[in-house]
Amino acid sequence: MAVALARKTLIHEWRRFLPAIMSVGFSGVLIIVQGALLLGIVGTNALSVTQSRADLWVGFPGTQSADLGRSIDIGVSSELLVDSRVARVEPLLLGSGDWRGPRGGGISVTLIGIETRRDALGLARAVLPAERALLDEPATALVDDGDLDKLATEIGGTAEINGRRVRVVGTTSGMRAMGGVNVVVSLATARAIDRSLAASDNVTYYLASLHSSQAAKAVRARFSRPETRSRFEIWTAADLAGRSVRYWLLESGAGVGFIFATAVALLVGTLITSQTLMAAVAASTPQYATLRAIGVPFPKLRRIVVEQAGWVGAIGLALGLAGSLLAAVLARLNGIPFALGPGIMALSGALVLAVALLAGLLALRRLRHADPAALLR
């Protein structure tokens, strides 16, 4: 009876509850979009991992983030191949440079040196085999299509990185960085441009593929003994990507600042939602007072209000999710990092619904000790 009454009241008085529904929807969009942008931006520092198809990554011990890798011994590859579960090992280089286009100016870029074979593991999701083959030519590079304007170049154009001329032979997709620019080159070109990578035994990461991805944890455990941890460390792709996100999210100044901005957005959205919904419920006070006057117990009255708040929250949340999906499409079209995953949607949805229910209960406080006769005046 209480549930039916709550729904009928909500339908009949929809104009009264419409501002609350819109407020919940706006709050949902604000919370979800802010969280997705936060995760998307910090996630760009792990693009070399998430855009590759390696089961295991091997790098310098204690590496805090994928983009902060340091050199390891080239002999590590032979140690990995001793394990029969390892199918293939290939190097990946990370370097840096100063990009100078035809019109001058300097832009800091990150060099990502990869294998150019068609079935290579490094950046396999971002660089197609046809584009990878173009890097076989010395002094050639790929840049993200969203960075062409920033670099003041085009496909076929030339520039200088650290004083060495390179030619842009194609573009990648999904490789835009948070700060600088990612430039994809072959291993040989990376060593020629960045002098710190010139030595042939200088490798930033080794990428390993396994005959069965199910063996990743077992292989990692084998090479995580104390005698090997002093020379290199091994991670699954998910572990290294997660470590990178946590570092930039929790330990960097930019991440902490963005978290603070997100917290402010959550607070604003919560306040707007609670105040609007409380006003909508409070406007129905005479009706609730009438129910109390005819003998409806307070627990049943509270159930009606909670049911109404729940419906308001659910409808508003549905609008918020639709708006967030639209924002994700717009972000994708404009190359904006936007990590809209099930986790952030579920967490934000639970928060919005909790705020809606709490607002309904707060609006009902005045009825608990009030005199029904006084409320009906």
Instruction: Please say whether the beta carbons of 162 and 97 come within 8 A.
Output: yes
Cα 360 from chain centre: 32
Torsion sign, CA atoms 16, 18, 19, 21: positive
Q: 174-183, 201-210, 246-255, 320-329: which has the minimum mean pLDDT?
A: 246-255
- Please determine, for residue 235, whether its predicted confidence score (pLDDT) is greater than 80: yes
pLDDT single digits (tens) 147-172: 888 888 889 999 999 989 999 999 99
pLDDT single digits (tens) 256-301: 777 777 677 667 766 776 777 677 666 766 776 777 777 777 777 7
pLDDT confidence of 1, banded at 50, 70, 90? very low
pLDDT single digits (tens) 73-104: 888 888 899 999 999 999 999 999 999 887 66
* pLDDT at residue number 135: 95
Instruction: Work out the angle between the directed axes of helices 342-363 and 253-282 (0-180°, nearest 10).
Output: 40
Residue 365: CB atoms within 10 A of its CB come to 11
Query: Whole-angstrom Cα distance, residue 200 to residue 198?
Result: 6
pTM: 0.78
* pLDDT at residue number 196: 84
pLDDT single digits (tens) 112-157: 999 999 999 999 999 999 999 999 999 999 999 888 888 888 899 9
Q: In this structure, what are the phi and psi dihedrals at residue 194, rounded to the nearest 5 degrees?
A: -100, 115
Please identify which residue in the block is written with the tokens 């308001």: 312
